[in-house]
């Protein structure tokens, strides 16, 4: 049981690190990557000894970097990274700063619409990577909207009243920083971006061109056809194949830890657990 994509309260996840690890362990996960948005704080916490790791669980250090590509937000996972690497730390600090600045601007837009108190709410969360998801939770809590979905459509998404574009780094900056930290750069959930087919192919081409290493091939809510499609791309482009639920909260039962399909035959030899760096962090994966 491998899950290489999950979040804690340091970004927009609902569990703290210790609770996430306990949940992973009780669900039989043996290898878990924590991949918070634009931060590695959960890993710093684990490395400092502040959180105990259950015996049967190996932790793979990771992060999920938001990038800007052709006016779209594209997420790049960094797996097996050195969490103390200066280049990566610097990029993550910039991204966190951009998140703070965007949240402040969103707060001003919301105040104009009569909804005050966002900054106080965000400060009380104490997270490292402030997300629009936190703003959506604030709007639901204040009774401004009925659901987070509605918060996005009315306020936070591209045509929303309080939309503020983020100025993320480029895909190549993310890939470079991940690789500088010794990690593997994977294009996250490739079918979740609203892209036409030609644009999707261009995204893959450009990701490969800038030296991207891996493709997230299996994740929650992925249909069988897309799983097949992504596994063929991984095989053709000789990319490592990774799997992850993108776990955020026990409430999101459809993307709980471990809810991923196994890799299709065509790219099974490229499972990221076969990467030479894997055994620095985890026991060899059980024969898949």
Query: Which residue is nearest to Mn ion, using beta carbons?
Result: 75
Q: Applying CB under 5 A, does 75 fall inside the site for Mn ion?
A: yes
How far, in Å, are 26, 79, 153, 198 from residue 243 at the CA level? Answer: 19, 11, 29, 25
Measured from the CB atom, is 219 or 273 closer to ligand AMP?
219
Residue 172 dihedral angles phi and psi, to the nearest 5°: -70, -35
Q: Applying CB under 6 A, does 131 fall inside the site for ligand AMP?
A: yes
Which partner in Mn ion, ligand AMP, none is near 148 (CB below 5 to 8 A by kind)? Answer: ligand AMP
> In the numeric block, which tokens belong to residue 227?
């799983």
Measured from the CB atom, is 51 or 166 closer to ligand AMP?
166
**Nearest-approach distance from CB 176 to ligand AMP, in angstroms:** 21
Span 50-89, contacts to ligand AMP by CB under 6 A: 66
Which partner in Mn ion, ligand AMP, none is near 34 (CB below 5 to 8 A by kind)? Answer: none
Burial of 27 (0-12, 13-18, 19+ CB in 10 A): middle
Contact stretch for ligand AMP (CB under 6 A) within 55-63, 125-133, 180-188, 232-240? 125-133
> In the numeric block, which tokens belong to residue 245?
């639920």
Q: Listing from the earlier edge strand, what are the strands of the sheet with 72-79?
A: 2-3, 31-34, 58-69, 72-79, 184-187, 214-219, 240-244
Measured from the CB atom, is 38 or 64 closer to Mn ion?
64
Measured from the CB atom, is 164 or 285 closer to ligand AMP?
164
Measured from the CB atom, is 79 or 133 closer to ligand AMP?
133
Measured from the CB atom, is 30 or 150 closer to ligand AMP?
150
> For residue 71, is it left (φ>0), alpha (ψ between -120 and 50) or beta?
left
**Nearest-approach distance from CB 182 to ligand AMP, in angstroms:** 25
Which partner in ligand AMP, Mn ion, none is near 246 (CB below 5 to 8 A by kind)? Answer: Mn ion
> In the numeric block, which tokens belong to residue 283?
């026991």
* Orientation of helix 171-180 relative to helix 197-209, angle to 10°: 40
Q: Applying CB under 5 A, does 36 fall inside the site for Mn ion?
A: no
Quick one: DSSP state of residue 257?
T
Which partner in Mn ion, ligand AMP, none is near 149 (CB below 5 to 8 A by kind)? Answer: ligand AMP
Span 145-174, contacts to ligand AMP by CB under 6 A: 148-149, 152, 157, 166
Q: Applying CB under 6 A, does 275 fall inside the site for ligand AMP?
A: no
The candidate with the shortest Cα–Cα distance to 261, out of 45, 1, 19, 43, is 1
Span 3-42, contacts to ligand AMP by CB under 6 A: 37
- Residue 263 CA to residue 259 CA, distance in Å, equals 13
Measured from the CB atom, is 20 or 235 closer to Mn ion?
20
**Nearest-approach distance from CB 73 to Mn ion, in angstroms:** 9
Vertex 34 angle, CA 13 and 232, to 5°: 105
> In the numeric block, which tokens belong to residue 28?
């039989």
Binding site for Mn ion (CB under 5 A): 12, 64, 75, 188, 246
Binding site for ligand AMP (CB under 6 A): 37, 66, 131-133, 148-149, 152, 157, 166
């Amino acid at each position: 049981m491998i899950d290489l994509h999950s979040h804690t309260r340091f970004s927009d996840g609902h569990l703290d690190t210790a609770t996430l690890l306990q949940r992973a362990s009780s669900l039989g996960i043996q290898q878990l990557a924590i991949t918070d948005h634009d931060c590695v704080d959960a890993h710093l916490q684990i490395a400092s000894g502040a959180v105990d790791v259950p015996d049967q669980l190996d932790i793979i250090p990771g992060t999920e970097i938001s990038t800007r590509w052709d006016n779209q937000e594209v997420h790049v996972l960094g797996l097996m990274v050195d969490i103390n690497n200066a280049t990566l730390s610097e990029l993550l600090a910039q991204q966190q700063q951009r998140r703070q600045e965007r949240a402040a601007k969103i707060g001003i837009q919301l105040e104009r619409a009569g909804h005050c108190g966002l900054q106080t709410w965000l400060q009380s969360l104490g997270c490292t990577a402030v997300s629009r998801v936190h703003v959506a939770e604030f709007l639901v809590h204040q009774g401004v909207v009925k659901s987070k979905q509605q918060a996005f459509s009315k306020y936070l998404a591209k045509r929303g009243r309080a939309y503020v574009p983020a100025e993320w780094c480029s895909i190549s900056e993310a890939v470079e920083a991940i690789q500088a930290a010794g990690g593997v750069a994977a294009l996250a959930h490739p079918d979740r971006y609203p892209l036409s087919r030609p644009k999707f192919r261009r995204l893959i081409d450009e990701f490969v061109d800038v030296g991207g290493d891996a493709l997230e091939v299996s994740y929650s809510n992925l249909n069988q056809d897309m799983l097949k499609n992504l596994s063929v791309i991984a095989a053709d482009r000789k990319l490592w194949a990774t799997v992850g639920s993108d776990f955020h909260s026990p409430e999101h039962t459809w993307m709980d830890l471990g809810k991923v399909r196994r890799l299709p035959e065509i790219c099974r030899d490229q499972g990221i657990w076969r990467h030479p760096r894997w055994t620095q962090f985890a026991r060899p994966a059980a024969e898949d």
